[in-house]
Structure 1
Amino acid sequence: MNLVERDEQESELERIWSECGAGKGSVVLLEGSGGSGKTELLHQAAERARRGGGLVLHAGCSPAESALPFGVLGQLFSSVPAVEGPLARLQAPNSPLAAEAAPHDPARGAVAIGPQLALLLNEVTATLLELSAAKPVFIGVDTVRHADAQSLACLLYLVRRTGAARVMAVLTDDTAAHRSPFRTELLDQPHTRRVPLAPLAEAEITALLARQLERDEAERLAGEFHTLSGGNLLLLRALLEDHLACGGVRKDGYGRAVL
């Protein structure tokens, strides 16, 4: 499905993927408030990469798994047989490698990598670079703020070494997320790009509504929908569904749903 209301960001992700195929690696931090369309854009970009012959590695982060050492890294590389050995060593019960990536300051999330873990990550990185020589690699991490600290340290290790490779990493995050050391170092990388998802303007809301309504009706409703939703994509879609179901916006019910 084409995200008409996010066509600018979708086009930018497509352009960055094309550059990746030509040998220019990138890291994209896709930022927006909850319900802004980050996850949908990430999935579309991953599907585009897959259809284009790329290797897609994906992980979804959850608060329930944020204390699982190397959990996100395991998700990313679970479909890559060439790194089964290193992953098994990372995720083995009571693995000493987890201690080598233990946070120095849990409140800030700062993580250092010990020598044995660095050697293992060097092996994983070499495999990733070898894979990218055969086909472009797309790495997607959804809701990165909920990733475990060990995986975040490993991700930084990888992205620092893939700027000249055919590797594109897209990480989604909330605009209001805590400004962590991970985020600071990620944005310091010369090949990192921020792609913000701002609330939709009235003209973009008109385009969204016109996909399912007559143009005149879309233009008439756009201002009201903008006022009620604040330009939030998820809430706009709920309003549109409400309108299609009952022929109008149920303001009282909508207000209760938001609260």
Structure 2
Amino acid sequence: MADFISNKILLVDDDPHVINRIVDILSKEKTSYGFYQANNGDVAFRIAENKIPDLIITDWDMPFVNGVELIKKLKENSSVKEIPVIMATAVMQSSKDLKCALEAGAADYIRKPIDEIELIARVQSVIKISEYNKKIIENKNREIAENALMLIRNNKFNIQIIRKLNELHEKLSVKDDETENLFEFIINSINEKVKQDSWQKFELIIKSNNNDFTENLLKKFPNLTNSEIKLCTFLKLGMNTKEIASVLFQSNDSVKVARSRLRKKINLNSEQNLSAYLSSL
């Protein structure tokens, strides 16, 4: 695969000549495509989960798992369901077959033998639509992240207030039990209120922009704790360790340890980016 590529395409066909034909055609384009290859739907699904390609072009009639079964399997998996799929076939070419492929979740349909102009046009069209949808999602995530940063700034201000109260408490000349209890109550109340409000407000922002994330996360990893779900939510938005620590009122080291434990719990290998993986859910 080339060092610099614009889009990654997974090609699925039990006939290597068809795959070579598609690679030859698309390699002539100005756009730099990178390619993954699979000879059946089962292998293709594993590659899709691991590599998250930008587009899949699959044959219909294949051993083990055929093209329609592959599409249905992809659409049932939250981490790969948004990958667009073009169905290519030499046999299933009736309007009924076309309807079947589209209802399964195919983004488009191309007949074999592969026509060069048709292939280029359909690939470019599907990728443009997919990129447009990604931008919509990115804008939503950016809005969520901006609201999160606002909460972080508010938290920092509230923490400063608590520190000033503690300083004032230390400077008081008279420290009877009533005064001590009053200061302790005020500081603890503010602290607890900030913690509760921060997450509740943030959770409302998440739900209003992305209702599926927590549901998809728990379907895939039902044993996650509430703390781990919160961490996943922050990481999905691309927040760094310092920002997460501020929202959760934890040290940077604590967040780093939590990230490491989370990676092990969801069985993510060292090559996979944790935030990018969570963003795909």
Give the TM-score, by structure 1 length. Answer: 0.29
**Structure with more of its chain in helix, by fraction:** 2
Give the TM-score, by structure 2 length. Answer: 0.27
**Structure with more of its chain in strand, by fraction:** 1
**Relative contact order (alpha carbons < 8 A, sep ≥ 6): 1 or 2 greater?**
1
Question: Max radius of gyration: which structure?
Answer: 2
